[in-house]
Structure 1
Amino acid sequence: MHFEQHIDAFINHLKANKGLSANTLKAYRSDIESCLALFVRRGVSDLNEITLDDLRSWMASESRNHARSSMARKTVAVRGFFSWGYEHGIMRTNQAATLLTPSIPNTLPSVLTEVQAEQLMDQADADDASVDEADSNNNNETGLEVRMRAETQRNTAILELLYATGIRIAELIALNVHDVDFANRTIKVTGKGNKQRVVPFGAPAMRALEIWLVEGRAKLENLNSADALFLGARGGRLNQRVARDVVHKAAQEAGVPDISPHALRHSAATHMLDGGADLREVQELLGHASLKTTQRYTHVSIEQLKTRYVQAFPRA
């Protein structure tokens, strides 16, 4: 691309000074590249030729195909790039300084009820139990059957750990075997900005992890497995797409509303608060930089309380 060297320099600046995650840096690069590519197609060869009206027209064209939350991120990325370019003498003026970030509706996150979450976990445990029973009755398993059994054990461990800890899907697939401390029932998680935190998990997650590590993981590992806690079918570190599919498929099988891994994280946080956990404790467990982010879950709890009230008191 025409402005590739400037984009590279900006991304390296963010990596060195802002501590952003690899996924965020990748998204920022894509946002800036798509923005500048539009102007290149219009004949722009110098960043100083881009005006505020040009940037507003870019936002208008992008907003037709993207949600407000995506547009907010794109705007932050482009505005940051122009600010950096001005500070480093690449641009004579910062045309993006007054570019407004689209407002994002303060919608509440979707969550499962506690009954639905229990139904989801029970289904995962039932799948695991059926695999163990089939294994005990079959001494002549094929290679495919062995791998399928291992994947079922892995999927159960994934679901139990996601719900028990509320960690992000990117944090889950980044876990290594040595990050699990069975003695204290905790995992060491590396979150956004490479910040580490220790998160506890309960007995169901511990049992699922032990089965996966003792029985399942060895069936999938190979020379490329390294230290990854969760492995894909070919033995490498599990990727996010497969992990997301695990959650969607499990929700379908359990007969609960279709949810994403992030919605399962929302559910875990809400249920922690419903169970009496302190807001600051939940903030620490989830790895939120701001308490304001965690406070969203208190509103979810209140909405659920209202629903239960109406159900209990129809004439209310």
Structure 2
Amino acid sequence: MFYMSVHRTIEAFHGYLSIERRMSKNTIMAYMRDLASFQSYVLDRSGAFEPVQIERRLLRRYLGHLHSEGHSVATIARRISALRAYFKYLIKQDILESDPSGNLKTPKQEKLTPRFLSADDAQRLIEHPVGDTPSAYRDRAILELAYSAGLRVGEVVSLNVKDVDLEARTLRVVGKGDKTRIVPIGRHAVVALELWLARRHELNGRNQDLDAVFRNARGGRLSARSVQRLVTKGRESCQQQGATPHWLRHACATHMLGSGADLRSIQELLGHASLSTTQRYTHVDLEKLMKTYDKAHPRSGHSTSESILPT
């Protein structure tokens, strides 16, 4: 399944996450890596891994081990989440009677403000691929879509031709947990897609993928890694440093919120299961508002300007 042999219950848990919970491949593999790490820790200390013998104190020692190794709070929190899900599954299967992870405390994570590209840098990045080759048209279409619809990289590369409705200006997107949503796209993205689809047939080969919207040079489905490399190449055109594909997704949400879009609409566009995830973008907009306030309001305590915010 992956880089090491795991206990049969972890193998069964993998199937449960995939078939019953319908989680994304990336989420499942993250869970498997975390559980494999825990299994390795237990094997090194006891020589055997048996779920029925795992106690709370062993889990606490494991968390202490992660702290001592310098793992981040986010990594430790994710591993606790994987363990909790695994033990809940074992209870559901009548393998365990009680959950040894029940009283484990998840470390508090710092709420990071999403990083995003400015509107100018988003445009610079989108316009970075130049030329009249099929790959140049493809790359511009990819970047336009990622920004226009706030798509995740995995959602971009998994698009099929049947998912695109240029006349209605919509896409059928399969997101996390195989959840499907219909999202609108802007006119610039529609034009970029039309131009690319007219040249798509030129990228063909022995491994031709007839369904994939975005093909590689051999005609197969383009990989997420290829999109990441595309953005890495385009960083040089941006004034900000460290641009990633996800920054385009964040930019879409932040710029929409700044232009008056409501949170519910942005939640639906991005495919967030919880509104609290979307609310992260309000912090970005609030920071911008506070900076404007401090510069413009005569009684902000930060400015001697006589101007005031419009009412």
TM-score where L is the length of structure 1: 0.85
Asked if the contact 2:208–2:218 (Cα under 8 Å) also holds between the matched residues in 1, the reply is no
Give the number of aligned pairs: 294
Aligned pair in 2 of structure 1 residues 208, 80: CA closer, same or farther (>3 Å)?
same
| 1:59-88, Cα deviation, whole Å (9 max, x unpaired) | 233343533223222211111112222332
Paired residue for 2:254? Answer: 270
Q: 2:220 aligns with which of 227, 236, 251?
A: 236
Alignment-mate amino acid for residue 76 of structure 2: M
Deviates more, 1:95-104 or 1:191-200: 95-104
Alignment-mate amino acid for residue 17 of structure 1: E
How far off its partner does 1:198 sit?
0.9
Asked if the contact 1:112–1:257 (Cα under 8 Å) also holds between the matched residues in 2, the reply is no
Asked if the contact 1:190–1:196 (Cα under 8 Å) also holds between the matched residues in 2, the reply is yes
Q: 2:140 aligns with which of 137, 140, 156?
A: 156
How far off its partner does 1:232 sit?
2.1
Paired residue for 1:14? Answer: 17
Asked if the contact 1:48–1:93 (Cα under 8 Å) also holds between the matched residues in 2, the reply is no
How far off its partner does 1:3 sit?
4.7
Name whichever structure is richer in helix by fraction.
1
Paired residue for 2:27? Answer: 24
Paired residue for 1:259? Answer: 243
Paired residue for 1:136? Answer: none
> In the alignment, does 2:278 pair up with 1:294?
yes
How far off its partner does 1:310 sit?
4.9
Paired residue for 2:229? Answer: 245
| 1:26-80, Cα deviation, whole Å (9 max, x unpaired) | 1111111111121112213422332222222222333435332232222111111
| 1:74-125, Cα deviation, whole Å (9 max, x unpaired) | 211111112222332323542222222222111211122223323333x33x
Asked if the contact 1:113–1:267 (Cα under 8 Å) also holds between the matched residues in 2, the reply is yes
Asked if the contact 1:173–1:240 (Cα under 8 Å) also holds between the matched residues in 2, the reply is yes
- Give secondary structure in 2 for the equivalent of 1:189: strand
Alignment-mate amino acid for residue 270 of structure 2: L
Distance in 2 between residues matched to 1:158 and 1:70, nearest whole Å: 30
Asked if the contact 2:124–2:237 (Cα under 8 Å) also holds between the matched residues in 1, the reply is no
Distance in 1 between residues matched to 2:294 and 2:136, nearest whole Å: 39
Paired residue for 1:71? Answer: 76
Where in structure 1 are there 5+ consecutive unaligned residues? Answer: 133-148
Distance in 2 between residues matched to 1:311 and 1:220, nearest whole Å: 53
Aligned pair in 2 of structure 1 residues 71, 263: CA closer, same or farther (>3 Å)?
farther
Paired residue for 1:143? Answer: none
Q: 1:94 aligns with which of 99, 103, 118?
A: 99
Distance in 2 between residues matched to 1:100 and 1:47, nearest whole Å: 20
Asked if the contact 2:147–2:252 (Cα under 8 Å) also holds between the matched residues in 1, the reply is yes
The within-5 A match list for 1:1-316 is 3-42=6-45, 43-63=47-67, 64-121=69-126, 123-124=127-128, 127-128=129-130, 131-132=131-132, 149-215=133-199, 217-222=200-205, 223-310=207-294, 315=303
Alignment-mate amino acid for residue 201 of structure 2: A
Distance in 2 between residues matched to 1:8 and 1:253, nearest whole Å: 45
| 1:256-301, Cα deviation, whole Å (9 max, x unpaired) | 3322111211111010111111211111101111111111111111
Alignment-mate amino acid for residue 161 of structure 2: V
Aligned pair in 2 of structure 1 residues 226, 275: CA closer, same or farther (>3 Å)?
same
Asked if the contact 1:83–1:97 (Cα under 8 Å) also holds between the matched residues in 2, the reply is no
How far off its partner does 1:19 sit?
2.6
Where in structure 2 are there 5+ consecutive unaligned residues? Answer: 305-311
How far off its partner does 1:242 sit?
1.2
How far off its partner does 1:309 sit?
4.5
- Give secondary structure in 1 for the equivalent of 2:279: helix
Distance in 1 between residues matched to 2:163 and 2:134, nearest whole Å: 21
Alignment-mate amino acid for residue 44 of structure 1: A
- Give secondary structure in 2 for the equivalent of 1:230: coil
Alignment-mate amino acid for residue 30 of structure 2: A
Distance in 2 between residues matched to 1:28 and 1:187, nearest whole Å: 30
